Amino acid sequence: TTLEHELRGAIERDELRLVFQPVVAVPSVRPVGAEALLRWSHPELGRVRPDEFIPLAEECGMIAKLGGWVLHQACHQLSLWLADGHDVWVSVNVSPRELHAPEYVVQVAEALQAHRVPPQRLVLEITEHAVATDLDELIRRLTALRRTGVRIALDDFGAGYSSLGQLHRLPIDILKIDHSLVAEREPRANRPPARPGRPFAPMVDVVMRLGHQLGLEVIAEGVTNPTELAVVVGAGCRFGQGQLFGWGVPAEHLEAMLEAAT
């Protein structure tokens, strides 16, 4: 396809950027981390969403190249923030295909070394979808990655791909509660007309307790308003991410937030 053709040249033409979405301590709202999100801006096609081009990159064998670019950019930015004295971590999203490539662990280790980043400052976000495949193989992969010293987050937890019965077996450090569980209201498409909303707090409570009992750090994703913030804080959550605290922003903006907080 033409999109595939354009994607192949995107790195060389300097059309890719990372934006960083703040992860904050709650309730203090102090920024403590940032999730790197990939953006592609094409001169004619305009902005292409990662939901479109990441699957494409996976199909056409480009994901290792794209993912490598993301890793290096993220580690570079992280090294600058650490050099400025900021106490911060950076996470990157890892696609299942990327995770299963034999060379991925080496790629991660090389990026850490090249930018002299303390490994525990880098978080790899593995989507819950990845758990649906071969669990033993996934465990081996994650174990190898963790030996480099990076931390692993299970992303989109509770989105509906059900890893609940296997969660305790996964060698992970962080649980990211999917925004659909944190949302005060159901997504519009699924919302029956004029039905009073059921309380959502019990959902957040139970996932938070599960995460903490497994010894995991828990991040509530998709916090969009003060009610949702109150619920996640009430459930004992220490970290949040979402519209209420800010969207993905260029590195300079995130840096300004870090500086404002010191």
Q: Tell me: does residue 128 bind Na ion (CB under 5 A).
A: no
What is the footprint of ligand G within residues 5-64 (CB under 6 A)? 21, 37-38, 49-51, 54
Contact 44, 23 (CB under 8 A): no
Q: Tokens 């056409």: give the residue.
A: 60
Secondary structure class of 182 (helix, strand, coil): helix
Q: Tokens 């978080």: give the residue.
A: 123
16: left (phi over 0), alpha (psi -120 to 50) or beta: beta
Given 156, 173, 228, 255, the residue binding Na ion (CB under 5 A): 156
Residues in the chain: 262
Q: Which does 262 bind (CB under 5 to 8 A by kind): Na ion, ligand G, Mn ion, none?
A: none
Q: Tell me: does residue 247 bind ligand G (CB under 6 A).
A: yes
Amino acid at 175: L
What is the footprint of Mn ion within residues 152-181 (CB under 5 A)? 155
Secondary structure class of 83 (helix, strand, coil): helix
Contact 97, 66 (CB under 8 A): no
Cα distances from 23 to residues 19, 29, 161, in angstroms, run: 13, 9, 24
Per-residue contact flags (x/-) with ligand G for residues 62 to 91, judged by CB under 6 A: --------x---------------------
Per-residue contact flags (x/-) with ligand G for residues 196 to 235, judged by CB under 6 A: -------------------------xx-x-----------
Q: Tell me: does residue 156 bind ligand G (CB under 6 A).
A: yes
Binding residues (CB under 6 A) for ligand G: these are 21, 37-38, 49-51, 54, 70, 92-95, 155-156, 179, 221-222, 224, 242-243, 247-248
Binding residues (CB under 5 A) for Na ion: these are 155-156, 221
